[in-house]
Amino acid sequence: MSSIDINCDLGESFGQFIMGNDDAIFPYISSCNIACGFHGGDPLHIENTIKKALQHNVQIGAHPSYPDLAGFGRRKIVLSHEELKASVKYQISALIGMVKSLGGELKYIKAHGALYNSIAFGEKEANTFLSAVKEIDPDLAILGLAGSPFQEITQQCGFRFIREGFLDRRYQDDGSLMPRKEKGSVLESVEESINQFISIAQKGEVQTASGKRITMEVDSLCIHGDNPLAEDILKATHQLDQPITVKCIQL
């Protein structure tokens, strides 16, 4: 693979709480997943992030989550079908409206944190999530965990599915991400992340926590905006001896 989309979760700062370093990251990515206010982000930070994305010609996606600002959306929240559906619709609608008001277009949806993991392997929540998106705009693409049950469910529902891998997260043997509560779940050096980037982007495989190598075919690779090494990792992806072009997926 000579080119790959790199996406990043951005716009997650709110009030006086600054998350990540969005300004430093924008020059190195091709897509961004903008927080919708339920795990991070507030109206002003969200709008400023949209403006920066448009300035850098970075493709925009909405990044809805469980209503969990205190836990940064990384805690499982039990919601009824109706509550979850309404919550997702509310968040996507806000992003669509704000992006449109600034002359842009929302292209895709990516769930955040615990919601991302829940819909990756939970059929019931996956269907609720997709029904919410469909009622807003069935032409939106869905970004989700490559090879997960969610991929098949999404495609069966008629959505375009963008297969996602991760630059900075450790995988388990079944292709799922190692839970964040476990030591080593986030790669701890630039070198490790770059090795994983090359392995997935060029070879279509990844080494798991147990040392096993599994197939990992992706369309987009994610780096987390709140990763303190994000800027250094992204710079290193552009300094490889055999460079891999960062290019957004045409949606």
Instruction: Tell me the per-residue pLDDT of 28-65, one tens digit each, with 9 for 90 and over.
Output: 999 999 999 999 999 999 999 999 999 999 999 999 99
Report how far Cα 121 is from the mean position of its chain's Cα atoms: 16
Non-local CB neighbours of 82 within 8 Å, separated by 6+ positions = none
Domain that holds residue 55: 3-168+218-246
User: Is 223 within the bounds of a domain?
Assistant: yes
Taking the chain (251 residues) in runs of 10, the rounded mean pLDDT of each run is 88 94 95 98 98 98 97 96 98 98 98 97 97 98 97 97 96 93 92 95 94 95 91 91 80 84
* Residues 8/248, Cβ–Cβ less than 8 Å: no
Structure token pair of residue 176: 């799922």
Decide if 176 is inside a domain: no
Give a yes or no: residue 234 inside a domain: yes
Distances (CA, A) of 44 to 14, 23, 88, 98, 140: 8, 15, 20, 11, 24
Domain for residue 150, yes or no?
yes
217 close to 206: Cβ distance less than 8 angstroms:
no
Q: How buried is 212 (Cβ within 10 angstroms: 0-12 exposed, 13-18 middle, 19+ buried)?
A: exposed
Number of domains in the chain: 1
Residues 221-247: tens digit of each pLDDT: 999 888 899 999 999 998 887 778 888
Contact 164, 234 (CB under 8 A): no
Asked if residue 222 is part of any domain, the answer here is yes
C-alpha 191: how far from its chain's center? Answer: 22
Within a domain: residue 100?
Answer: yes
Asked if residue 173 belongs to a domain, the reply is no
Please report the pLDDT score of residue 10 as a whole number: 97
In a domain, 147, yes or no: yes
Nearest in space to 19 (alpha carbons), one of 51, 41, 48:
41
Q: Which residues, listed in sequence order, are joined to residue 31 by a DSSP beta bridge?
A: 7, 59
Tell me what pLDDT residue 238 has.
Answer: 86
What CATH number is given to the structural domain containing 143? Answer: 3.20.20.370
